[in-house]
Amino acid sequence: MKDLMTANEHEIGRLISSSAYQNSTHPDHKAIHQKVRDWFAFQYGRQPIQTDATGRMIAPSARKTSFFISQIQQGKTLFVGEGNLSFALSIAKIPEINTSSLIVTTYEKTSDLSEEAQQNSETLKQSAASVINEIDATKLDRYFPYQKFDTIIFQFPNAESGEPEYGRNPNYILIRDFLKRAACCLTSNGKILITAVDSPHYQGAFQFEEAAEKAGYSILGPYLFDPESFLGYSHTNTNDDDSALEKHDEFKTWIFELKNNA
């Protein structure tokens, strides 16, 4: 591959999804892996301003929303488990986004939506986005058997129950089943973006790496998620009024791509 810092997202994705990269024991692999990490940091605004050999400043991404913008611009986007719909609405307000390519779904019945969610739903519809309620993220193949999406976004997934299922955390089962069912709804180069709290507790609950392996995905990233970069975003859980944004300070977005697309 050419110099990593001049590579595009597709080239980086193919590199880190390849079995040669993932299973490499070459002495130079550690240095290459660090260059890949530097690429993600530079592209998505996770490193401070640096200078080149001439002393000129090299600025990171102008907006921390850059990955979401560039990914959603690839084509049709599906939002699942949107709760109060404020995240989808924050995306729809970005000038670069074609709102007619957005399909926004909630798990709740229309009659159970909060007043805020109903208002956001109407605003989204007025912007040409589609809004559909009563969509179970673990059964996407039933709802969208003939539609393909370039991007599927699931913000702060949260299982209904805290009780273990067959000895496994229900949040792990939620992610595993969601990824499995979403596979048939992705385009050939489609990606799934899942944002969650960045902590050992949540990493243990979701076990993204194992869920991805079981469902046939590779993971690109993750990268830091800054909720303040999304104007008007105010997360609420599906099952109660709690908010991960109010209780925690650090978040990450995990990027999933089907292995047979690599």
Give the model confidence (pLDDT) of 86-120 as tens digits.
Answer: 999 999 998 889 999 999 999 999 999 999 999 99
Distance CA 25, CA 201 (A): 31
- Coil, helix or strand for 184? helix
Distance CA 72, CA 44 (A): 15
Mean of the per-residue pLDDT values for the chain? 81
Distance CA 104, CA 154 (A): 11
Task: Please choose, from the candidates 155, 158, 94, the residue with its C-alpha nearest in 3D space to the C-alpha of residue 129.
Answer: 94
In this prediction the pTM is: 0.73
Query: How, if at all, do strands 130-132 and 102-105 pair?
Result: parallel
Task: Please choose, from the candidates 1, 11, 13, 4, the residue with its C-alpha nearest in 3D space to the C-alpha of residue 258.
Answer: 13
Residues 159 and 245 in one domain: yes
What pLDDT score does 222 carry? Answer: 81
Residues 28 and 142 in one domain: no
35 pLDDT higher than 80: no
What pLDDT score does 109 carry? Answer: 93
Report the 10 Å Cβ neighbour count for 6.
9
Residues 41 and 89 in one domain: no
Domain boundary among 23, 38, 58: 58
Strand partners, 252: 196, 224
Residues 39 and 86 in one domain: no
What pLDDT score does 202 carry? Answer: 85
Q: Which two tokens stand for residue 130?
A: 């589609």
Residues 149 and 50 in one domain: no
Produce one character per residue of 20-55: b if its CB has 16 or more CB atoms within 10 Å, e if not: ebeeeeeeeeeebeeebeebbbbbbbbeeeeeeeee
Cis previous bond, 200, omega within 30: no
Q: Give the mean model confidence (pLDDT) for residues 168-191.
A: 93
Q: Give the mean model confidence (pLDDT) for residues 243-251.
A: 65
Give how many domains the chain has, as a whole number.
2
Count of residues for the chain? 262
Distance CA 245, CA 203 (A): 16
Residues 14 and 102 in one domain: no
Q: Give the mean model confidence (pLDDT) for residues 18-23.
A: 70
Residues 76 and 44 in one domain: no
Q: How confident is the model at residue 154 (pLDDT cuts 50, 70, 90)?
A: very high
Domain boundary among 20, 36, 58: 58
Residues 105 and 218 in one domain: yes
What pLDDT score does 241 carry? Answer: 54
Residue 75 is given by DSSP the state S
The single residue listed with the structure tokens 């990606």 is 191
Q: Among 60-69, 94-103, 235-244, where is mean pLDDT lowest?
A: 235-244
Residues 88 and 209 in one domain: yes
Residues 184 and 230 in one domain: yes
Q: Give the mean model confidence (pLDDT) for residues 44-56.
A: 47
Domain boundary among 36, 58, 80: 58
What pLDDT score does 192 carry? Answer: 96
State which H helix or E strand residue 221 sits in. Answer: strand 217-224
Give the CATH number of the domain where residue 226 resides: 3.40.50.150
Residues 36 and 131 in one domain: no
Provide the domain limits for residue 248. 66-261
Residues 116 and 91 in one domain: yes
127 pLDDT higher than 50: yes
